[in-house]
Structure formats: structure tokens, C-alpha cells
Structure 1
Amino acid sequence: MILTGGAVSAFNAQAADEINIYSDRQAFLMKPILDAFTEETGIKVNVVFAKSGLIQRLKSEGDNSPADLLLTSNVSNLSRAVDAGVTQEVNDSVINKNVPAKFRDADGQWFGLTTRARVVYASKDRIQPGEFKDYEDLADPKFAGRICTRKGDHTYNIALIASMIAHHGEAEAKQWLEGVKANLARKPQGNDRAQVKAVKEGVCDLAVGNSYYYGKMLTNDEQRAWAESVNIVYPNQEGRGTHVNISGMAMTKSSPNRDVALKLMRFLTEDEAQKIYAEQNFEYPVKAGVEASKLVDHWGEFKADDLPLSKVDSFRKRAAMMVNEVGYNN
């Protein structure tokens, strides 16, 4: 059962054969996975879907919250849930085996379920193969007036900036961000797909976006031409690798159905659910051995940055401050 808005009262928090989820992941993505879990276990899954505000809702509800699990995108959202005190530790051998250490919290407060790369979309007509290679190139003066991004303080960009701080230190990362701002073709605006559209329209030659949007555009009649106008570039392949982020899960501190919640958490890290995730949203499974969708596989393999996401996220607040300091969105 997928609920929206304030329909929390529809939850039966005490039922031993039910589980209650708060999710900001889109309903169409979660439904086939949760249906498969119900079919296998007989356990009913109730979901409240909201684009924002779920962590605050958990905090406000406190011990009376009916939610067992939080499903969200981006490591920053998971870390915010931990900081808000609404999660609890899970130490489970099955989950720990399926989810690599770099994609889970060292204290067991959250676990990654899928990964997505923060890539650069390069114009097929105006960027030659190999002309752009690394994130550092985004600040190269030769790309002045040729770059499009969404707002710098969006969580996707904050994570990328945080990774630059982690690898280069604050001073060098800030200099880089100032260089990226200087190279922007327009004021930061829109979502990731809007940047690729801008490349198609000749507004810019390079766009920063998440990898799964390439699949979404290629399978959308209106947006296919945008995707076909660009090459997808995985930066830093000759060095540290491309920055990746996750979608993930955390068990709520108040979970009234902990044993059932643990069953679902395990299921979400196993082959069947991981495969559905990959097919539905063009993301990469976190579990080794589970293949990406055929479309994603066609893009080729890439080297991912091995820096643990918990380390990257430790620079999140500094990255957000840096965006304001350089006036990135102005």
C-alpha cells in the first residue's frame, strides 16, 4: 500500500505481519520491489511517500512513530537522519556481506542499496573525445562559458564538492569551485536533465549530472534527443575514479516491528531486489555479482572512487558553506 502526505494514521504499527516505511524514493520504483517481498514472505508493506520532510516527521513523532524503515537517496540524507537521532544500529552478517563497507555506516546506522555516478555529459559536436577527463577540468579556463549545472547547494553537488575537499583539502577545493563558477554558461538552475537539454540547445558544452538520468532520457520520447546529443563521461578514470553516491536505508529508532524490518532490509540487499532496482532506475547494484541493466551495461565499466562515503559526507557542511562563500548560485 502506497500512501502520500499525512496518511500515516493508516499504518497499523503493531501488526507482526506488516512493516511501515517512510520513503522519498518514488513510488513507481519501490512498488515492484516491495511487491516481490510481500509475495515471498506474506508480509504486507505500507509506505508513506513524500519528497521531503520525512526526517523531521520521524523526529516529531519520536517513540510513537509507526515507521520501521527510512528509504532515501543520497548519503547526506542518511547522515541527517543519524544526526537527528531517528535511526538505530543494525549489525547483521547478511547485510554486511552484501553491502560493501564503503557504502555503509561504520556504526551500522545506514546502508547503501544502489549507487549512481556523478558524471559529466559532453556535447558530441563541440567536445572532442578525451578533451574532458577529470572533475578538475571543470575549472579549466578553456571551458569558460561552456558549463551548466544545477544549483551548487543541491545535495548531489554538495556531495561532489565534499569529495573534492576530501581529496584536495579546503583551500584547493575552494579554488576549484571558484573556477567552476567562472566557467558557467548561465546561472545555476533546473535539475540534472535540464543541464543536458541545455547542451542539446547549445547553451553549454558540458553538463554535470547523475548517471541514471542518461537512462531516463534515452527511454523518454521527448528527452531522447537530449541524451543522444551527448557522450557520458566518467571523470578521473586515470586517477582516483568517479565520485559515486547511494540510495539507502536505515531502521528507525522507534521501529515497532524490528524483526520484520530486518527481513526487509536483508531482502533489499539480495539479488532479486538489487536486480529490480537496477532495471527500474538505471542505477548500479551495491551487491557484487548483480548485473546492471542491459542499457546501463552498454555504457561500459568505470572506475569508482574508493573513498568511503562516510568520509566524504564528513565534509558536507563545509561544502555547503563553500557554495555560499564563492556565491556559486548568484
Structure 2
Amino acid sequence: MRQKAVGKIAVLAIAVMMVLAGCGSNNGASNNQTGANNGTDVVGDKEQSKGEGVVNVFTARHYDIDFQLFDEFEKKTGIQVNEIKGTAEELVERMKREGESSEADLFITVDGGVLNYAKESDVLQPIESETVNGTVAPELRDADNHWVAMASRARVIAYAKDRVTPDQLSTYEDLADPKWKGKVLIRSSSNLYNQSLVASMIELNGEEAAAKWAEGIVANMARDPEGGDRDQAKAVVAGIGDVAVMNTYYVGQLLHSKDAEEVKVGESIGIFFPNQDTTGTHLNISGIGLAKHAKNKDNAIKLIEYMVSKEAQEMLINGSFEFPVNKEAELPAIHKEWGEFKTQQIDYSVLGANNKAATELMNKVGWK
């Protein structure tokens, strides 16, 4: 069985202590773990993690469906997948710090800007795979092939079905109009999804227009930002506000929740894809990059190819409710109900390039 690193630090520590006690020496003890710096987890001993049948995945995603996909990959190939979890920033810094000694073979995270940050941090290398290039559209891959999207998500407007009709909605920009005063729900300025949304607006409309929009959003907030996207949907249904900005996949998760109340929330909100007549709906990605010093490069590329395959994509989107990057993947019923929509046409690298400006202007206008 493959090794899931999460939560294994305490077990590893006990094992190391037993070895030390048994051999009476600390020789090599420090080499039997990759460390738990900055909250990341351990992979195990280096003999195992560098074996021919292994691939080590540094991941900032926290979805159970990823774990299930790795299990399927192992069953099909016999290649063991070791997960090392942490925040994207922690994992990139660890890869930089460890350099050539890094155990990382793959890096997985959300947000195109973060993927570009990893590339600029020089911890990735080009993915050389005709399979990947032939499966995933160029706009969903790095220009130099340092990363490839494995799923996408749209940031949309959720609305109360009993108080708002779709013909009242149009664009992100329209949410800053005074007619929505006291009715808009959205997460905090520290949320990466919102930072990337504003970063995209800077790219499309200019920094001055983006700042004016953010100022209007703050003026129209139904309450100070709190909670995640699910909480915004719940607040809409509770009547705290009428519209919320959120990612589509959270709606899918609400509708398929084991909690009956969450299902009711999902059923009580409608989804509107903004800017269909202008710049398109904001789309962001989850992506996977090949580590610069991958010790198991061939296995890593095999896993990338599997993750974008039709089979894996269908399994992924039915578990996370993101959108597939493989056009051959059969869509779940809810995706078919949403239908096709126009998306923003921007390079995902600008989400990272404009992140600082986006964060600064959000703070300047009082977006908490």
C-alpha cells in the first residue's frame, strides 16, 4: 500500500526513537526523514522514497478524491504515491531550501498565480510528454510546460432564488452598483480566490478601475467578510445577503453533501456566470508541476499523464465538482445543467504577477 504522509510525524518520531534505542547510535537518524519544517509532513526513508516504484507528491490540495486517484494509479502501475502535504508557500520554500537533495517529484496546488510562483522560484522543470500536450489545451498549460492544469473552477455569482432573478444579474462590475448595497456576500481580502479575481480585473480593466470596483464591493457588503465560500451560500439562504461570489465546485459539494441542511442550501441558490457579453467569467485552475530535481522523473510523468486521462478526469470531477481539462471526460449532471460559458482570456501567470497590486488595493479600500 502506498504511504500517506499526513499525520505520520508522531509515528515516525516514535520509530526513530526505537531505532536509536536499539542501535545505541544516532548515525543516519537525520537522514531518515525529510523534515517537518513549516508544518509539512515526512515522506519516509530515502531508500524507499527514491525506489523505482515510487513517486513523491508535494501537494497543497486537500481533497479526498486526490487520495483516491493516487490509489487507482498505484493499482494500475504498481508505483507507490507518497503524499507530502503543506501550504503551497511552505512546499515551494522547502523545495528551494533542499535544492538537489529535495525528495519532491511533483508539486500540486491551486491557483495559476501560485503555479507561476513555483516556476519563477526555479523549483520546476519542463514536462516532456506528448500525451499531456495532446490532451490539455495550450491555454491550460504553462508556456514553457513547467506545469499543467488538472482541473479548473469558475468564480461565479450565487443568488437567492426566492429574491433574485437571473435577469437582474450581468457582470462582476455590476455588483459594485449602489442597487446592491447591503446585499453582497464575499470572502476576505486574504482569500487567494478573491485576490486572483481582482488580479484578473487589473489585467482586463486596469488598476484604477479594479480599485473602484473593489471600493464599490466594500460599500455593498451585507456584512464584514467571514468564512469560506460555503458560508457565503449559507448566508444568502439565511437572508443576510442576496448574492454571493463563490466557486462553482462548492455548489456541487453542497448539493452532494451528507448534511441535509447543506443540500437545502445548494438547492436554494442559483448560479450565474457573469460577464458573458464582455470579458467572460473568471476561471482559475488546480495544477501539477514537475519538480526540478525529481529523482523519479519517469514515474512522475506517468502520474501526470494519468491525472489528465479521461478516466481520472471523470473520477476527479465527480469527486471535487471542478471542471475537467480533458474534453473527452463525461460531465456530471450538474455541470451539464450549468451549460457552457464564456471564460476570461488571460494568461494564468498574470494572477501571480498582479497579486501584490490586487492585495494592496483591496486593503486600501478597506476590504477586510
TM-score range (shorter-chain normalised) is over 0.9
Partner of 1:214: 251
**Residue deviations 1:270-322 (CA, integer Å, cap 9, x gap):** 11111111111001101222222223222222222232322444322211221
Task: Give percent identity, aligned residues only.
Answer: 37
Partner of 1:235: 274
Partner of 1:36: 72
**Are 1:247 and 2:286 an aligned pair?**
yes
Q: Which runs of 5+ in 2 are unaligned?
A: 7-39
Check conservation: 2:280, 2:344, Cα contact below 8 A. yes
Post-superposition shift, 1:59?
Answer: 2.1
**Residue deviations 1:83-115 (CA, integer Å, cap 9, x gap):** 322111223222122121211211111111101
Partner of 1:125: 162
TM-score under structure 2 normalisation?
A: 0.85
Which whole-Å CA distance do the structure 2 matches of 1:77 and 1:169 have between them? 21
Post-superposition shift, 1:10?
Answer: 4.4
Moved more, 242-251 or 67-76: 67-76
Which whole-Å CA distance do the structure 2 matches of 1:24 and 1:283 have between them? 16
- SS where residue 2 of structure 1 aligns? coil
Q: Which has the higher helix share?
A: 2
TM-score under structure 1 normalisation?
A: 0.95
Q: Residues 158 and 14 of structure 1: is their aligned pair in 2 closer, same or farther, counting only changes over 3 Å?
A: same
Partner of 1:45: 81
**Are 1:304 and 2:306 an aligned pair?**
no
Which whole-Å CA distance do the structure 2 matches of 1:27 and 1:136 have between them? 32
Partner of 2:199: 162
**Are 1:9 and 2:11 an aligned pair?**
no
Larger RCO, structures 1/2 (Cα 8 Å, 6+ apart): 1
Runs of 4+ in 1 over 4 A off after TM superposition: none
Q: Which amino acid aligns with 2:291?
A: T
Post-superposition shift, 1:76?
Answer: 2.2
Which whole-Å CA distance do the structure 1 matches of 2:121 and 2:350 have between them? 19
Partner of 1:150: 187
**Residue deviations 1:14-66 (CA, integer Å, cap 9, x gap):** 21111111112225111221122122222111112235522222222222111
Number of residue equivalences: 329
Q: Which amino acid aligns with 2:86?
A: A
Post-superposition shift, 1:3?
Answer: 1.2
Q: Which amino acid aligns with 2:270?
A: N
Q: How does 1:247-286 map to 2 (within 5 A)?
A: 247-286=286-325
Q: Which runs of 5+ in 1 are unaligned?
A: none
- SS where residue 267 of structure 1 aligns? helix
Q: Answer with 1 or 2: which has the greater Rg.
A: 2
Q: Which amino acid aligns with 1:288?
A: K
Check conservation: 2:109, 2:287, Cα contact below 8 A. yes
Partner of 2:100: 63
- SS where residue 273 of structure 1 aligns? helix
Q: Residues 217 and 111 of structure 1: is their aligned pair in 2 closer, same or farther, counting only changes over 3 Å?
A: same
Which whole-Å CA distance do the structure 2 matches of 1:79 and 1:318 have between them? 16
